[in-house]
Amino acid sequence: MFEKIQKELAEYFELDPATITRDTTFADDLKADSLALMELMFNLESETGKTLDDDVIEKVKTVGDLCDMLEK
């Protein structure tokens, strides 16, 4: 799951995937605002077939947090 999220984030933010780790934060490291996070969540839901709670944006701080939620 991490590799899929890493690839999606790298494409979205135009970064080298190697720079994205499980400890990468959305707000500080990626400078992602809530709109960007919503779009990413929607894309990941479509790709994985998993549904995330509406309040997931408030709970997810790092890439690892998102991986954990999608792996449940």
Q: Which long-range contacts (CB under 8 A, 24 or more apart) does 12-17 make?
A: 12/36, 12/39, 12/40, 12/43
User: Can you give the pLDDT at residue 30?
Assistant: 94
Pick the CATH number of 2-71 from 1.10.357.10, 2.60.40.420, 1.10.540.10, 1.10.1200.10: 1.10.1200.10
- Residues contacting residue 51 through CB under 8 Å, at least 6 positions apart: 45
What is the distance between the alpha carbons of residues 60 and 70, in angstroms, rounded to a whole number?
11
**Domain range summary for the chain, segments of one domain joined by +:** 2-71
34-60 pLDDT per residue, tens: 888 888 888 888 888 888 877 877 888
Q: Count how many Cα atoms sit within 13 Å of the Cα of residue 15 in the half-sphere of its side chain.
A: 18
Give pTM, 2 decimals: 0.85
